[in-house]
Structure 1
Amino acid sequence: MIVPDISQDAVAVAEHYDELDLLYRRVWGDHVHHGLWVTGRETSGEAVEALVDTVGDRLRLTPGQVCVDIGCGYGSTARRLAVTRGVRVTGFTLSVEQEDYAAAHPVPDVDIQVCDWLTNGLPNASAEAAWAIESSEHMVDKPKFFAEAHRVLVPGGGFVICAWIAETDASRWKVRHLLEPICREGRLPSMGTREEYEAMATAAGLTVTGYEDVSSRVARTWMICAGRLVKTLLTDRGVRRLALGARNRGAILSIPRLILAYRTGAMRYGIFTLAKAVETVI
């Protein structure tokens, strides 16, 4: 597990997203996650939606299902799946700014709450499906992240995680100059490998039913973000002032690191498909 040299907690994560709210929406959009290029001809907006649709497909979502969006950001994924799949979604974010944005863009059957997933308070076996798109990285206690998903899911429920993960046995150079700074600048308490994620999922009682490394199909996200950032800094004085003065301005430095981390293989992007076992009666 890659752990930054400065400890991160849920408060730091919330402050990060609250402070950089405007910058994230200008540079990364209101989904705040990678795009997935399937044919390679998609626009960036289409690629972002393709990742969401991939999650919906892997969960085999059907109308009326009760779902949980763990680390929902601005609620854009929850809104899209509620509209396109007819599901009911409760989303959890640490950011007040993100919840405010979601409240200003409501759709039926989507409830966005400011709450730490690790203390979510949902009843046992109350959700039929759950997903976490690039939020597991922010979890201080990753084993509990998996354990809570197992607790909240009904038997047979599905769980999809889209995650930034570290290269297995990454070299010391990659850890020191790429992975550890990415964790520190992005307020990630830790970054695990595929093997560590699967071990934690299994220990929580979940079954790993699928895994796909889609690094090559998401990596261009960061070149797009870099271009948007440069354009925004040159044309928007408010964003420029924010970028130069924010406590969390180190996140800007992570963009070239992320580009290099993908190109060197230091960081991977994995989609995990998990399930809670169906209880058997003897």
Structure 2
Amino acid sequence: MIVPQTPQDAVAVAGHYDELDPVYRRVWGEHVHHGLWETGRETPAQAVEALVETVGDRLRLRPGEACVDIGCGYGATARQLAAGRGVRVTGFTLSAVQARHAAAHPTPGVEIHHRDWFANALPEGSADAAWAIESTEHMADKPRFFAEAHRVLSPGGRLVVCAWLADPAASEWTVRHLLEPVCREGRLPSMGTREEYEAMARAAGFTVTGYEDVSRRVARTWTICARRLLKALAMDRDARRLALRGRHRVFAVTVPRLIQAYRTGAMRYGIFTLAAAGEDAAPE
């Protein structure tokens, strides 16, 4: 597990997304996660939606199911899957700004809460499926994340986790100059490996039914972000103030680090498909 030199917590994560909200939405939009390129010809908007559809496919979502979006951001993923798959979604975000944006874009079947996942207040066994797209990185207690997801899911319930992962063979140089700074600058309390995630999931009672490394198909997210960020910095004084000054000034430096982390293989992007104990928990 890669742990940053400066400890990060939920307050720091919320502040990061609240204060950088204008930059995130201008540079990438309402989906605060990677895009997934299947053919290489997709637009960025199509690519981010493709990742959401991949999650929906892995979960085998059925109309009417109760779902949970853990770390839902602006609610874009919840809205897409509710509208396209006919499911009901309850989402949780630490960011007050993201929650207000979601409230301003209501969608039937979607309910977004400004609340920590560890205080979700959902009844035990109340959800059929859940997903966490690039949110576990921001949780200091990852075993507790899996335990809480297992509590909320019904027997046989499905969970998909899309996560930034550290290569277990990453060199000391890449850890020091790429992965640790990415954690510190991106407000990640830790970055785990595939093996660590699977061990935590199993300890919580999940069966790992699938895993896919899609690093090569998501990596271009950051080259696109870099170009858009440079344009925003050149044209927008407010963007320059947010991205280059104050406690978030490292944001502009983090993007090149992420590009290099993918190029060196020090960082991976994995999609885990998990099942709670029950009839649907047999490995694929």
Give the total of aligned pairs.
280
Q: Which amino acid aligns with 2:95?
A: S
Deviation at 1:171, TM superposition (A): 1.0
Q: How does 1:145-164 map to 2 (within 5 A)?
A: 145-164=145-164
Q: State the distance in 2 between where 1:236 and 1:110 align.
A: 34
TM-score normalised to structure 2 length: 0.97
Q: Which amino acid aligns with 2:190?
A: S
Per-residue deviation, residues 101-131 of structure 1 (Å, max 9, x unmatched): 1011111110110111122111100100000
Per-residue deviation, residues 216-270 of structure 1 (Å, max 9, x unmatched): 0000000000000011111112212222224222122110000000000000000
| Residue aligning to 2:22 | 22
Gapped regions of structure 1 (runs ≥ 5): none
Q: Which amino acid aligns with 1:151?
A: R
User: 1:22–1:246: structure 2 CA closer, same or farther, 3 Å change rule?
Assistant: farther
Q: State the distance in 2 between where 1:253 and 1:176 align.
A: 15
CA contact (8 A) 1:19 1:246 kept: no
| Residue aligning to 2:249 | 249
Per-residue deviation, residues 40-78 of structure 1 (Å, max 9, x unmatched): 111110000000000000000011000000000000000
CA contact (8 A) 2:133 2:161 kept: yes
TM-score normalised to structure 1 length: 0.98
Residue 201 in 1 paired to residue 201 in 2?
yes
Deviation at 1:279, TM superposition (A): 7.0
Q: State the distance in 2 between where 1:243 and 1:157 align.
A: 40
Percentage of identical aligned residues: 74
Q: State the distance in 2 between where 1:237 and 1:5 align.
A: 31
Q: How does 1:95-134 map to 2 (within 5 A)?
A: 95-134=95-134
Gapped regions of structure 2 (runs ≥ 5): none
| Residue aligning to 1:187 | 187
Q: How does 1:127-146 map to 2 (within 5 A)?
A: 127-146=127-146
| Residue aligning to 2:3 | 3
| Residue aligning to 1:89 | 89
Residue 240 of structure 1: SS of its match in structure 2? helix
Q: CA RMSD in A?
A: 1.1
Q: Which amino acid aligns with 1:136?
A: T
Q: Structure 1 residue runs of 4+, over 6 Å off?
A: none
Q: Which amino acid aligns with 1:142?
A: K
CA contact (8 A) 2:243 2:251 kept: no
Residue 209 of structure 2: SS of its match in structure 1? strand
